[in-house]
Amino acid sequence: MEKDSTKISMAVIRRLPKYHRYLKDLLDKNITRISSKELSRVIGFTASQIRQDLNNFGGFGQQGYGYNVDALYYEIGKILGLDRTYRTIIVGAGNLGQAIANYTNFEKAGFVPKAMFDMNPKLIGLKIRDIEIKDIDTVEEYIKENNIDIGIICTPGPQAQSVADRLVKGKIKGIWNFAPVDLKVPAHVVVENVHLSESLFTLSFLLKHCQNESSGTL
């Protein structure tokens, strides 16, 4: 549908999951059709912003009709690559890795965890739900043999780069990185970071600089 999606800015790309989420909410409320003005009110972007964003992918609204919620939800899902499933592994079976393994919403969205990996012999062999924790030394082979798409890195920072190197050797396609480091990987491997500390420190910045002025009462 889109002409050259690699030219689309990351800002637009990062808004797409938000559209997807709001459209799902509308569907859950049995709203099947929505004007761009009303969609704008719900989602908090301007109607013009929404039109611009969606025009990157061919545009979906019809003059005088607005948007068909179901069709738009489906199309944005397809653009996001949610019309298929992904085989994932979780590396690092500590608290965060276990929390992600236990969080079934990712699986419902099509991201299916096939195995976990750790270096701690006490964890190897255990299961989280039905997902087995395996020896990190076997990860490259496992990725190749099981055609794994995405590696989720939940290790401490110091281990993350060597884990990423192993995933790359196993021919992983994408990495979802929770470790507080910026990974070095070849250009064909996609990395998306979740840097929790950076998010928390952004909050403390905002608390320090933006709170007092807008509130004299606290």
β-strand partners of 152: 90, 176
Interface residues toward its own copies, by CB under 8 A: 2, 5-6, 13-14, 16-18, 20-21, 44, 79-82, 86, 95-96, 98-99, 102-103, 105-106, 109-111, 149-150, 171, 173-174, 176, 180, 182, 186-190, 192, 194-211, 213-215, 217-218
Q: Is 58 labelled a binding residue?
A: no
- Using the minimum distance from each CB to its own copies, give the nearer residue, 96 or 124: 96
d(CA 177, CA 68): 35
- Using the minimum distance from each CB to its own copies, give the nearer residue, 65 or 78: 78
- Using the minimum distance from each CB to its own copies, give the nearer residue, 63 or 214: 214
Shortest CB 155 distance to its own copies, Å: 13
**78-96 CB burial, b ≥16 within 10 A, e <16:** ebeebeeebbbbbbbbeeb
- Using the minimum distance from each CB to its own copies, give the nearer residue, 124 or 150: 150
d(CA 57, CA 59): 6
- DSSP reduced 3-state for 127: strand
Shortest CB 38 distance to its own copies, Å: 16
Q: Is 96 labelled a binding residue?
A: yes
Q: Is 59 labelled a binding residue?
A: no
Q: Is 170 labelled a binding residue?
A: no
- Using the minimum distance from each CB to its own copies, give the nearer residue, 5 or 52: 5
Amino acid (one-letter) located at 63: Q
Shortest CB 131 distance to its own copies, Å: 13
Shortest CB 139 distance to its own copies, Å: 17
Q: Extract the tokens encoding 194.
A: 């979740």
| CA-based nearest residue to 139, from 155, 120, 125, 119 | 119
d(CA 85, CA 108): 9
CA dihedral 35, 69, 8, 189 (to 10 degrees): 160
Extract the annotated binding site: 92-97
Extract the annotated binding site for NAD(+): 92-97
